[in-house]
């Protein structure tokens, strides 16, 4: 397995729209394995292929807690078919926006159709953190980040901090 480099905002790749996966083949399954490894190592509860520079509609999720049994979920070509009117607020983070968190309001429940890594058509009803995480990850596939839901002032402040962090990392490496 290979650990993938996670792209950090601002990066134009993170703003692209991803293409559906035509065939769930061994190449796709290898990417799924690498993405799980990268997500667990980060650590995170979700990761979209676009975050590792692959512009395909695929995400991995595991919201299980540290001492619980892992519960890996891979969604290929996910489509959110229903969103509840009731909303909930979670503090969201993003592996492409390190160190920054914000409370985001989203539909509290959703239903998602997707293809599993075995190529099977599936349907999932989600609520709580799983519903939030699915919506966050599906947003990634359309080039949307959680900071896009914040005021321009808050979003600009976060982007400024990320640019500063990137410059600092470059300075230390060179």
Choose from ligand K1U, Zn ion, none: what does 139 bind? Cβ within 5-8 Å by kind: none
Is 113 tagged catalytic? no
Residue 29: φ, ψ to 5°: -65, -35
- Which one of residues 94, 110, 112, 134 is an interface residue with Zn ion (CB under 5 A)? 94
Give the residue, chosen from 8, 100, 137, 158, that forms a contact with ligand K1U under the rule CB under 6 A: 137
Residue 78 binding partner per list ligand K1U, Zn ion, none, with a CB distance cut-off of 5 to 8 Å that depends on partner kind: none
Find out whether 48 and 38 touch, Cβ atoms under 8 Å: no
Count the Cβ atoms, other than its own, within 10 Å of residue 29.
14
* CA 101 – CA 92 distance, rounded (Å): 5
Nearer to ligand K1U, 144 or 157 (CB): 144
CA distance 60 to 74: 4
Among 14, 24, 34, 44, binds ligand K1U (CB under 6 A): 44
Nearer to ligand K1U, 89 or 118 (CB): 89
> What's the token pair of residue 39?
């997500």
Angle at 11 between CA 154 and CA 21, to 5 degrees: 115
Q: Among candidates 73, 72, 49, which has minimal Cα distance to 140?
A: 49
Which of 49/94 has CB closer to Zn ion?
94
Binding positions for Zn ion, 99-128, rule CB under 5 A: none
- As measured in angstroms, the least distance from the Cβ of 84 to Zn ion is 21
Q: Is 93 in the site for ligand K1U (CB under 6 A)?
A: yes
Candidates 2-10, 12-20, 88-96, 106-114: pick the segment binding Zn ion (CB under 5 A): 88-96
What is d(CA 109, CA 1) in angstroms, rounded to the nearest whole number? 34
Q: What single-letter DSSP state applies at residue 26?
A: H
Taking CB under 6 A as the rule, does residue 100 contact ligand K1U?
no
Catalytic residue IDs: 137
């Amino acid at each position: 397995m290979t650990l993938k480099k996670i792209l950090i905002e601002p990066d134009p790749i993170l703003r692209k729209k991803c293409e559906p996966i035509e065939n769930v083949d061994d190449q796709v399954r290898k990417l799924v394995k690498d993405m799980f490894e990268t997500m667990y190592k980060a650590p995170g509860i979700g990761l979209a292929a676009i975050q590792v520079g692959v512009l395909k509609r695929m995400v991995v999720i595991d919201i299980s807690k540290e001492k619980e049994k892992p519960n890996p979920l891979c969604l290929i070509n996910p489509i959110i078919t229903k969103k509840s009117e009731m909303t909930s607020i979670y503090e969201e983070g993003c592996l492409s926006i390190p160190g920054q968190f914000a409370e985001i309001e989203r539909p509290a429940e959703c239903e998602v159709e997707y293809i599993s890594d075995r190529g099977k058509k599936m349907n999932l009803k989600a609520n709580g953190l799983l519903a939030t995480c699915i919506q966050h990850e599906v947003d990634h596939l359309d080039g949307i980040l959680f900071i896009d839901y914040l005021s321009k002032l808050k979003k600009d402040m976060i982007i400024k901090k990320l640019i500063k962090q990137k410059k600092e990392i470059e300075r230390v490496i060179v």
